[in-house]
Structure 1
Amino acid sequence: MKFDASQFDNLELDNIGQWPAAAKLLLAIFLAVTVGFLGYMGLISDQVKKLEGAFAEEITLKQSYRTKYHVAANLDLFRAQMVEAEDTFANQLRSLPNSHEIPGLLDDITFVGTTSGLDFVKLEWQPEISKEIYIELPIDIEVIGPYHSFGQFVSKIAGLPRIVTLHDFKIKIEKGDNETLNLKLQAKTYRYQEGGVQ
């Protein structure tokens, strides 16, 4: 069969029944493609988006299930860890000085300093700093003595039964004596804000 382009000349929409078979076939293909495209855009594309959303939700739900299953399978272990964490927290709270022990803490720091071979120039409380669950109690300390005595002092402070942290170290040589140094630092202890476990 030979293709003849002249058969597409003078085609009118009013007379589709008289069109040649090739023109009818092309029109049918064009209409099928147009209807298929419009049907896809109008009906199927929304469903495809919903399906993709359902696949993404399925992945999220599976991950959530795995996490919850892991927690449920290890619930006894998590409960034991929670009890251990609460015990550790209670022990840490007991390491914080209560209001009756705070004056004794200054005595302990003084004792630790003098037994380390240091002389105190300054030892005074600074204003309390209130934090979310605890109160910070800073103490300004200035001592003089040999360098190795500073190490003993810091080591003994760390060994106190109550929590004391040391900050802002400044060391300088005392005037006229290369063996004697001046150490300024701030010690901080803490008190539980809500009067927790003592």
Structure 2
Amino acid sequence: MALEDTLKQLNQLDINDIDFSRVGVWPLAGRVALLVIVSALIVGAGYYFLISDRYQQLEFAQNKEKELFVEFEKKSFEAANLDAYREQLAEMEETFGALLQQLPKDTEVPGLLEDIDEYGRGSGLTIQEIALEEEQVGEFYVELPIRIEVQGGYHEFGAFVSGIAGMPRIVTLHDFTIETSKDGGALLNMAINAKTYRYKEQEGEG
């Protein structure tokens, strides 16, 4: 019966009649209601300030765990393939060294110009000009532009270009123009820009 009496008192409770200064003499139902409200506030505050913060820390830890797992997988893959990476690195260094050997040094540039001249004459062309132009300094290499002007026919031009492409030194060809001869003959004039390269560190070598 005590529970029924308490519930009955709660139903009859009027919030306008509540006097917080006399909590001690409140009916049992009022004190029970106040205790329930205070308990709920304490639990809510505790959840907000403690449990909610713990959830955020847990979420952060879970995200960190995922990042570390991905990094672990990456490191494991690299470790499993370390020997293959070393072999590839050795091959790249060997290839790079071979390419450097194809870059002419300062002392070899005059000989390179002579080789171009020989390829031109050997292809049946008339050499009008082969001139080394101003160097262009890049981050890792120095670019050496060469201006070439020759006279001949299309077949001779093709043989000349093929010869230059097959040279042991790296030489690239750019921006060619072909015009008819000014004297009105059957020969053509071709101007083409060739480029070779020198490894930049060689500038300080003796």
* Contact 1:8-1:23 at 8 Å conserved across structures: no
Q: What residue number does 2:140 align with? A: 133
- CA 1:53–1:148 in 2, change beyond 3 Å: closer, same or farther? farther
Deviations 1:85-125 (A, max 9, x none): 11111111111112332111111111222222332222101
* Greater helix share, structure number: 2
**1:75 is aligned to 2:82:** yes
**Identity across the alignment (%):** 42
Q: What residue number does 1:64 align with? A: 71
Match of 1:21 among 29, 51, 56: 29
- CA 1:192–1:15 in 2, change beyond 3 Å: closer, same or farther? same
**1:103 is aligned to 2:85:** no
**Alignment TM-score, normalising by the size of structure 1:** 0.82
> 1:81: Cα distance to partner?
1.3
Number of residue-to-residue matches in the alignment: 195
* Contact 1:16-1:24 at 8 Å conserved across structures: no
**1:163 is aligned to 2:170:** yes
What is the letter of the counterpart of residue 59 of structure 1?
K
Q: Which has the higher contact order (CA 8 A, sep 6+)?
A: 1
**Alignment TM-score, normalising by the size of structure 2:** 0.79
- CA 1:179–1:5 in 2, change beyond 3 Å: closer, same or farther? farther
Give the gaps of 5 or more residues in structure 2: 1-6
Larger Rg: 2
**1:143 is aligned to 2:150:** yes
Match of 1:194 among 188, 201, 204: 201
> 1:57: Cα distance to partner?
1.8
Bigger mean CA offset, 140-149 vs 13-22: 13-22
> 1:66: Cα distance to partner?
1.4
